[in-house]
Structure 1
Amino acid sequence: MREEEGDDDRERDLPLPALLALALPLWCVGTAGLLAWLALLPLIAAHALLTRRARGAEVPQRALVALTAHAPKGRERARDTVLLMHGWPDWPGLWDATVDALTRAGYRCFVAALPGAHGEVVRTAPLPNAVVLALRDALVAAHGNAPVTLLTHDWGAVYGYLLAQTHPALVRRIACLDVGGALRARTLPLALFTYQWPLALGFALGGPVGDAMVRLIAALMRYRARPLRAVRASSACHYVAFVRARAHAPALLGGLHLDYTPPRSVPTLFAYGARKPLMFHSAEWARRVRATACGEVHRLACGHWLMVDAPDELHELLCGWLERSERPPAEAERHAAARAPS
């Protein structure tokens, strides 16, 4: 699937009033905050000129979701197929070491590239259901209708939950990293006003100004998976896409409140980093995961990017869980029941 070209491509998603609305919660706190907010007006006014000058260097549009295949090493037949999905501000290369560990263990891997992952300009943030449909189409084209194991991180986890909800026959197992299917009630407002609004504004601005905003936030988060110069405003399209979904089609948000419950027959692994200011899961989510066949929850002494901060520990955990969850469903459910607290 490719984004439609037309008149809408000439503008960003959000007009000037919406940009100001995005900026207001960030800066309008007291007199100093109001002055800081007003200081954004010249940046917004200069935005059109700056982006026009930058158009010549834009990367051509890519498919909405693209998959790269990696065959298992040393085996003629793969033990299973794993679909890996990244989040913000990442790209498929985030998974290179993980793919190496999985293919050496005998697994075939498909690595997804989500919108904006390669630095291409995304003018209109695609609605979540469009991303999931593109993901399904790419997966079926590459792998048929056979189920796969999901390995997801950050926004990739959210899209993974939506794929499992809307196309359950395609999902055999789920291994999700750092973002659960149910958040703490206090996490969403805190995340919204600390970094999600700025990222949405960065995407809406686009161009050099938007890139600078997004890179600044990535730097404050101590992002080191790749050089900051490779991070562009388009990578933050997900934050605006979910606002668009809420405004235009609230019914699409069934799973976007992150209230997903994996079926008991779907083995689920959740691993998260303990060294970060916000936790993107709840005790209720951990309970749901443990209730699945071979369900496991693991806490790692690292930050949000587990595959970068603790690769050896993560890969040993993943390969071990994949081995354990290959048991027949009845045996896996007995194993889960034996581990459940009485």
Structure 2
Amino acid sequence: MPHDWIMTPSPLVHRTVPGPAGRIHLVEQGAGPLVLLLHGFPESWYSWRHQLPALAAAGYRAAAVDVRGYGRSSRPADVAAYRMTELVEDCVAAVHGLGERTAVVVGHDWGAGIAANSALLRPDVVTAVAMLSVPYAPRGGPRPSEMFAGMAGGAEEFYVSRFQEPGRAEAEIEPDVRGWLAGFYAAFSADTMPGPDAPDPHFAARDGQLRDRFPAGPLPGWLTEADLDVYAGEFERTGMAGALARYRNMDRDWEDLADLDGAPITQPSLFLGGGRDASTMWLAAAIEAYPKTLPGLVGSHILEDCGHWIQQERPDEVNRQLLDWLDGLSRPAGSPDLP
């Protein structure tokens, strides 16, 4: 369908649907084929505020989920309740709770991992998958806790290792949620990230804090004070434990998903990454392996001079790529591109 976006989208609708852990909160807009949107850390459904109206105006039913542990969705107390297999079932429950049998799933950051594993574990529900910022890499290799511990040495510690220890990151973040989030977003945005000669904010001194390396200065260009208020307000209400629990299940996931070792995703797929995003750069080998790991890949695009928060930093480009890909899914092979 053409992308003139002349349709007037319907209003945003907040809904809760039942899920395995209780409730799943989501925000939907539009009517048509269902596109489920999954955010990453530390975000919420609001991360898709630029995509919801664009998808709706183009004739899709877009639904942005608060992932388990975030926002208005349920927050189980048990850390093991945030393992990947549980989050995949939440994805399925969201689709069914919206009265649909199948959906295209789009994920950013941790949401990309949930989308990928949903495609692997529930191909009956996920018909196509798009991954933003974090490339698909099949399950394999060493135990994650050991791998991430080996990424730093001496007096430094990688942020993922720090997040895996219950209570430790909460003690840093929760006394000043708004300030910490502002620094974290800025540290990984193209227009505010530290220069190449500055200490890497993915790491912290073992006796220090991550925020010690966050840039001081204005907010990133994509983030207004009002936007920051939305994010901070959610985490000030819920705390950080639910969001951080995802990092505390990486070894469980490695064990749970052993049968998927090396498994390719065969559904039609799309990858969008930021040229200045460490997730894209560190996983360059995973992108090079896409002919084997994503045999249904339709497109892989790196947005130059873009950081980690890709759909918020560069919403127009991301929307264009998503809509071209989505529209192509409904066209017969070999048919001409639409204007």
Q: 1:67 aligns with which of 26, 33, 45?
A: 26
TM-score of the superposed pair, with normalisation by structure 1: 0.64
Q: Aligned residue for 2:330?
A: 326
Q: Aligned residue for 2:90?
A: 134
Answer 1 or 2: which has greater helix percent. Answer: 1
TM-score of the superposed pair, with normalisation by structure 2: 0.65
CA gap of 1:141–1:321, structure 2 versus 1, over 3 A, is same
1:151 aligns with 2:154: no
Inter-partner Cα distance in structure 1 for 2:75 and 2:99:
28
TM-superposed CA distance for 1:98, in Å, is: 0.6
Q: 1:219 aligns with which of 166, 171, 183?
A: 183
Q: Does structure 1 retain, via aligned residues, the 8 Å contact 2:276–2:307?
A: yes
Listed as ranges, the matches of 1:1-342 within 5 Å are 1=19, 3=21, 63=23, 65-72=24-31, 78=32, 80-118=33-71, 122-125=76-79, 126=81, 127-145=83-101, 147-182=102-137, 189=148, 193-201=157-165, 203-205=166-168, 209=172, 211-212=174-175, 216=180, 219-220=183-184, 222=186, 226-227=227-228, 229-230=232-233, 231=235, 232-234=239-241, 235-246=243-254, 250-255=255-260, 259-263=262-266, 266-279=267-280, 281-288=283-290, 292-293=295-296, 295-301=298-304, 302-328=306-332, 330-331=333-334
* SS in structure 2 at match of 1:168: coil
Greater C-alpha radius of gyration? 1
CA gap of 1:213–1:252, structure 2 versus 1, over 3 A, is farther
TM-superposed CA distance for 1:163, in Å, is: 0.9
Q: Aligned residue for 2:197?
A: none
* SS in structure 1 at match of 2:117: helix
- Aligned pairs, how many? 259
TM-superposed CA distance for 1:245, in Å, is: 4.3
Unaligned runs of 5+ in 1: 4-61, 73-77, 336-342
Superposition RMSD in Å: 3.5
Q: Does structure 1 retain, via aligned residues, the 8 Å contact 2:35–2:103?
A: yes
Inter-partner Cα distance in structure 2 for 1:107 and 1:89:
26
Answer 1 or 2: which has greater strand percent. Answer: 2
Inter-partner Cα distance in structure 2 for 1:70 and 1:191:
41
Residue 64 of structure 2 aligns with an amino acid whose one-letter code is V
Which range moves more in the overlay, 167-176 or 116-125?
116-125
* SS in structure 2 at match of 1:196: helix
TM-superposed CA distance for 1:253, in Å, is: 4.8
Identity of aligned residues (%): 22
CA gap of 1:217–1:195, structure 2 versus 1, over 3 A, is farther
Residue 104 of structure 1 aligns with an amino acid whose one-letter code is A
Inter-partner Cα distance in structure 2 for 1:242 and 1:218:
26
Residue 299 of structure 1 aligns with an amino acid whose one-letter code is I
* SS in structure 2 at match of 1:100: helix
